[in-house]
Every structure is written in C-alpha cells, then in structure tokens.
Amino acid sequence: MAKRVLLALVAIALACHASANPTDSTQVGRKGRRARTSGHELRNPLLNAAYQFVKEFSRVDTLYVEPQHYNFTVMLQNTNTYEIYHLANKTGQEIVFVPKPSVKLGPYVGWRWVFLGYTVDLTHLSDGDRKQDLNLSLYSNQIGIDVFYRKSGNDYTISRMDLGKQYDTSRMRGASFDGFHSSITGGNLYYIFNHRKFSYPAAYSQSTIQRRSQGSPLAGIGYTRHSLSIDWEKLYDIVAENLGEETAKRYMDPELKFKKIKYTDVSLSGGYGYNWVFARNWLLAVSLSAALAYKHNSGDVNHQRFSFRNFSLSRFNVDGIGRFGLVYNNSKWYVGASAILHTYNYHNSQLSTNNMFGNVNVYVGFNFGRRKHP
C-alpha cells in the first residue's frame, strides 16, 4: 500500500513538472494516437495512469493559450485589502463598520508552478495593529483553489449609522471604534469547463498567455467559518458621546446587543468567466459567480446546535465571488492588476449581516531561464 501511495505521489510530482509545459492538444489531434505517447511514458502501469491523469489538467489548445517559456520569474507586487461589515435589524436600523485599508508591498520569486513572496504592511508599521491576512490562490487550466484567513485588527471606523429617518447621525460618520472584531477562514474550489481554450492562469498568475478571446462556464464549492463580536458598552458610549445619552437609550435597539456571532457557510456556486484579448499581449479578464449558501449559526443570537430538525430553507442565502484582471504579458516581462472580491450574507429573525472583502494587486515582473522544450 505504501509503495502505491509513493508511486502516486511521484506521478503527481512529475505531472506538476509537466504542467509547466502544457501539451498542445491541436498537435495531438493532427498526429493521431501515437502523438499521445510521444512524451513521457512510464513503465509502471499504476504510476503511468496517475501521471497521465494529472497531466490531463495541463492540456491546452495552443491556438488560444500559449504556455510559459521560462523557468523562473521575479515580481514586485503591491497588495491593497478592503473590507466592509454591514449590520441591520428587522426595524431598519443599521450600522456599517469599515477598517483602515491595508497597503502592502513586497517581492515574489517563482520557479515554474511554485511561487513565494513576502509583503510588508506599510499602513501598520508602528501602530500595534494585530490584523492578520493570509490569501493563497492556485490556478491550473482546469481547476482553481482559493484559501484565505482574515482576522481584524483594532482600526475600525463607523462608516454609517442609521437609527431611523427622524434622527441625524452624521456626526457618527468616521468615528473610530476598536470594539469590533471579526475573522473568516475558508476556501473555494472551482472547475473550469472550457479549460483547453480559456486560461485562468493567463489573467491571475501569468503562467500562460491568452492569445484569442474565449470564455468558460464555472462551477464550484465553498466552505467558510465566520465570527463577529461587538463590545456593546463601547459602542453605547460612542453614541452617547456624539449624539447624547437620551438618543443612545432611546434609539439603540436591544436586539443588536449580542456579544458574538459565529456561523458556518457551505455553498455551491456557478458562474462564467471571459478573457478578452483586445490587443496583442493584452488581456482583460472578468469572472462572476453566484453561490447558494446554507448557513448555520452558533453564536449568541438564536443559538442552536445543528440537526436535521432545525434545517430550514430560510437559512439559505446568496453569496458572490468576482475576479477581475488586466495584464500585459509578452512572455518575457509582464505588468498588470487583478482583484478578487467576496461577498457573504447572513440573516435570521432578529438581524442580518453583509460582509464584503477583497484584494487589489498591482504588479510588475519578468521571466528568465528559458526552458529547453523537447
């Protein structure tokens, strides 16, 4: 058994090595069946089967997608992170929390399909903020993976507060509030149907070049865990300081007085992506997906343990994922920008929350160490 596992791992490693040199599916079509075995053919049947299975993920039509010609790359990237939390109750009162955006800068180095880098948060160098942010995206021609972990710091402000049309809350706008904390952990796995002619890596990892415009339907699954907590006493004090004690007592709905909300989100998504080659070496990419998500909470509001008895259609919500990219890539060097945006919605009989977060990346880099193609 151990030998079989080892052979499978070796096959996957060889296939990942081969994924840097995608097979020209048009050549396979012209040369016939013998062309399929003209590359690596392993003697061990199990090893060869695993190798061929994983290698299939890298096959492309080179009339539409041009593979990478270099082994190494270096890149300088600026990453900007944004986040918004919107809370509302059933009477229409609402509050929006927004943290100070993070601006990061750092170098990246890559070898074929392995890419490593380090960025410095320029906006929180000396203020003691404890914000944590980890994002990992892996793009192949056929599948993609997003993994993320975000934990808020102490730099939130109140972007907007609405206690009812009869009261002016403009003085609350921009007020600093360090009593709001949030975290989100999760990931998405998605499948690209037209993977031979449509390339996600061309837009988001520059490991291929889209030569002709093409689109593809997308399907995926996702799982996330969310946590929100509010120091209600601190929020009450800020409202009383800016709007008066009487206003704080009268208009702040006690149904929003929760200490923490935790919920899990399991989703199925579908969407469409399109790569538009509007000029030589230029690419504009857009993909949008909507997800039907089932949410189960385990916080202070309507706390319940999950069971099939409390399964309810009202727990379903619609989430969204958007990806956008603009890149110039002449194979030797590249420059561009990309953005990934996530939106999550949660509601119960007392309140609703809407969370939106994302990253905007601006980068420039060049490739070197030209490959020796067989």
- Segment 128-143, tens digit of pLDDT: 566 777 777 777 788 8
Asked if residue 217 belongs to a domain, the reply is yes
Looking at the structure, do residues 53 and 83 belong to the same domain, yes or no?
no
Q: Which residue has the tokens 């230029």?
A: 282
Whether 280 maps to a domain, the answer reads yes
CATH code of the domain covering residue 344? 2.40.128
Residue at a domain's end among 17, 39, 59: 59
Q: Which two tokens stand for residue 217?
A: 């339907």
Say whether both 179 and 86 belong to one domain: yes
Whether residue 154 sits in one domain with residue 41: no
Task: Kindly state whether residues 45 and 169 are assigned to the same domain.
Answer: no
Whether residues 75 and 9 fall in one domain: no
Domain boundary among 59, 80, 103: 59
Confidence of residue 20 (pLDDT cuts 50, 70, 90): very low
Q: Which pLDDT does position 56 carry in this prediction?
A: 67
Residue 117 located in a structural domain:
yes
pLDDT recorded at residue 247: 77
In a domain, 53, yes or no: yes
Q: Chain-wide mean pLDDT for the chain?
A: 78
Q: Are residues 55 and 133 in the same domain?
A: no
- 44 in Cβ contact with 83 (< 8 Å): no
Do 132 and 252 sit in the same domain of this protein? yes
Query: Looking at 35-49, 127-141, 203-217, which range is the least confident one?
Result: 35-49
Same domain, residue pair 83 and 227:
yes
Please give the average per-residue pLDDT across 246-257, as a whole number: 65
Say yes or no: 37 and 177 in one domain: no
Query: pLDDT tens digits, residue range 312-351?
Result: 445 788 899 999 999 999 999 999 999 999 898 887 767 7
Whether residues 11 and 136 share a domain: the answer is: no
Give me the sign of the Cα torsion angle 287, 293, 298, 299: positive
Least trusted range by pLDDT, from 30-34, 177-181, 270-274:
30-34
What is residue 1's predicted lDDT score, i.e. its pLDDT? 45
Residue 279 has pLDDT above 90, yes or no: yes
**282 and 155 share a domain?**
yes
- Closest by CA position to 209, among listed 111, 63, 16, 78: 63
Lowest mean pLDDT among 172-176, 244-248, 267-271, 292-296: 244-248
Answer yes or no: is 65 within a domain. no
How many angstroms separate the CA atoms of 275 and 199, rounded?
Answer: 8
> If 0-12 CB within 10 Å is exposed, 13-18 middle and 19+ buried, where does residue 278 land?
exposed
Domain membership of residue 213 (yes or no) is yes
What pTM did the predictor assign? 0.78
Chosen domain end from 20, 38, 59? 59
Per-residue pLDDT for 113 more than 80? no
Report the range out of 97-106, 324-333, 363-372 with the highest average pLDDT. Answer: 324-333
In a domain, 7, yes or no: yes
Domain count, the chain: 2
Domain that holds residue 81: 70-370
Q: Give the up-direction half-sphere exposure of residue 250: CA atoms within 13 A in the CB hemisphere.
A: 8
Do residues 303 and 240 lie in contact, with contact meaning Cβ atoms separated by under 8 Å? no
Residues 47 and 74 in one domain: no
Inside any domain, residue 64: no
Count of residues in the chain: 374
Cα separation, 236 vs 21, in Å, equals 60
User: What percent of the chain has pLDDT above 70?
Assistant: 76
Say if CB 219 and CB 189 are below 8 A apart. Answer: no
Q: At what angle do helices 2-19 and 45-55 cross, to 10 degrees?
A: 40
